[in-house]
Structure 1
């Protein structure tokens, strides 16, 4: 196998939108090309920083008498997805404050700020790394665990960074990554 520059990619968002949130019970996607169920709603524009996916693995060394490390044991694992929605819309408001805290009428939206715990909801992020690849991340149980500060000024968008922690599903997986790659064949 030789180097192939056509396999190099960047995290470019899918045209028409890239970050979606579902409802409890939304059907899980199983590939990168089947359209998402209508229960998934688009956040809208995300800031130019895009999405940051972080994985943390903590471990502990077990040492023998004399100081040799004889075993390293993983003590924790955590995966997060962080991004800043920059549209002011009901989908973003409900994701950040909960459905029960957002009411929408013709031309009006009211958001109640409180400490009510937010539910775990499915999250989908879609990118097009290069001309032959579509990459879809599916987080079955995403929980909003951190919101950044909101700046009210005349130069920054009115978004705040949202960090979602990916909770393990029934199979112990925090996320699934599905790719459609034109021309990819199984290795022999």
Structure 2
């Protein structure tokens, strides 16, 4: 089989109808196909900065040595998967991701005031929920699903006159019932005749 440029995907966000990062309740069963994943009723995080989203898998291994001290095998002892990005939009959903759902209060706009939001930082454990990352490259699509993940690291919030206020976060992903942390679905957009 030769090379095929249709298998080269660009990681641009799919945000035509919603933002590219969505959240919802933990998933018990992950669908088998990209078109079987339901994306309705999920929280929409809005814009992400130009650095995009980074998935970082990390394997830890233990070395087995023979009597002479030579390494003869490695066994997997631990897997962690992290997903990181920076929210560029300061909206209720991105704030809930950063501060925690119970620590963001939003009041609707009135005839005299705009939409108001109050968020608080403290020693607050953030919830475990499902996360969805939508990518589109022409007719090619990618959907990353973390059925059980939690924000475990929050970066600095910059307040400058020359840039946006951003909310950087890192998720830790946890194994589902099948022992998998992250699912990556693709559709190459090429239809058969």
Question: What TM-score does the superposition give when structure 2 sets the normalisation length?
Answer: 0.86
Deviation of 1:38 after TM superposition, in Å, equals 2.9
Partner Cα separation in structure 1 for residue 43 and residue 32 of structure 2: 18
Match of residue 39 from structure 1: 41
Match of residue 110 from structure 1: 118
Aligned length: 184
Question: What TM-score does the superposition give when structure 1 sets the normalisation length?
Answer: 0.88
Deviation of 1:23 after TM superposition, in Å, equals 3.0
Distance change (3 Å), C-alpha of 1:64 and 1:118: same
Match of residue 131 from structure 1: 138
1:167 equivalent in alignment to 2:174: yes
- 1:80-127 per-position Cα deviation (integer Å, ceiling 9, x unaligned): 110001111100111112221111112211112121211111000011
Q: Report SS of the residue matched to 2:148.
A: strand
Partner Cα separation in structure 2 for residue 138 and residue 69 of structure 1: 36
Task: Note the 1:53-92 alignment, pairs <5 A.
Answer: 53-92=55-94
Partner Cα separation in structure 1 for residue 134 and residue 151 of structure 2: 19
Match of residue 111 from structure 2: none
- RMSD across aligned positions (CA): 2.1
- 1:109-168 per-position Cα deviation (integer Å, ceiling 9, x unaligned): 11121212111110000112x334211011111110101111111223211321001111
Partner Cα separation in structure 2 for residue 31 and residue 114 of structure 1: 39
